[in-house]
Every structure is written in structure tokens, then in C-alpha cells.
Amino acid sequence: MISIPSVWDANLAPRDHHVVHAYSLEPFQGWQRDDHYAAKKQARAQPLYQALAKVIPDLGERVVLELIGTPLTHAHYLRRHQGTYGPAIAAEQGLFPHCHTAIANLYRVGDSTLPGIGVPAAAASGILCANTLKN
């Protein structure tokens, strides 16, 4: 998943710069803060850079600040169990839940609802809920 939120809101990055948010699914198992942590983060980021290079070919020359998150990062800063970025729903268990709940006039939105994980999806869940309320 790739998003460039500063295209829509220039205040998210310094003038003449952009924020690129790219992520993939990464299992929690095998991550530990040890002597190999920094190298492992860089290695796991390479497929993301390769994907981004298809959209922004000279990205490597343009990066000013790089922040690489891992499941450990998410566990620490987001207080998510094993660093989960959204819920872990197996395909055979169905889809992410919609905004409706069993309680009248109570709705849910965010990365644990349809359409799923990530900033763009969490924002979209709010839009979907708002559209539900309009109808």
C-alpha cells in the first residue's frame, strides 16, 4: 500500500516536499531489538522502495527523512498487540466489519473496520460511515 497524503494537504510536509507512506504486511514473529535490528529494517524496506520506484523512479535521490516502522514500532507507539496494523482476519473468517453495531445510533470507523488497515483505509471507513448516515 502506498499513499502520498501531502498531495491533498501541503501542511503535512515542508514546502516543496512530500510525505510518502508505504507499508506491507509483516509478521511479528522474528522481530527483536538486537544488533541485527537496524539491518533487518533496511532489508525489509527494500521491496517497498522497489515498488515506490515504479511510481517515483528517482525516489532514492530525493529522500530527506526516512522512518521505517516494524511490528515492534507499532507495538510500542500504537499499543497494538504484536504490532498489528489493523486486525488480523483470516480469509475464511470473512471481511472487516462494517460501521454498523448492535447498538442503535452507535457506529464504528477506523483501521479495524471495512475497508481495513492503513491511513487511507481508515479515512475511507469514515467516509463510508458518513455515506451510510446520509441514506
Q: What is the pLDDT of residue 116?
A: 73
Residues 37 and 93 in one domain: no
> In the 8-state DSSP scheme, what is residue 95?
P
Provide the domain limits for residue 105: 87-135
The Cα 71–Cα 80 span in angstroms is 9
Residues 104 and 65 in one domain: no
Residues 21 and 74 in one domain: yes
Residues 91 and 101 in one domain: yes
CB atoms closer than 10 angstroms to residue 86 = 19
Residues 76 and 102 in one domain: no
Burial group, residue 85, by CB count within 10 angstroms (0-12, 13-18, 19+): buried
Residues 92 and 118 in one domain: yes
The Cα 57–Cα 128 span in angstroms is 33
Residues 75 and 98 in one domain: no
The Cα 80–Cα 72 span in angstroms is 9
The Cα 83–Cα 69 span in angstroms is 10
Q: For residue 29, give Cα distances in angstroms to 36, 72, 80, 124.
A: 15, 10, 14, 30
**pTM, rounded to two decimals:** 0.65
One digit per residue, the tens of pLDDT, for the chain of length 135 reads: 788 889 999 999 999 999 998 877 778 889 999 999 999 999 999 999 999 999 899 998 999 999 999 989 988 887 777 776 655 566 677 677 888 999 999 999 987 787 777 777 788 889 989 998 876
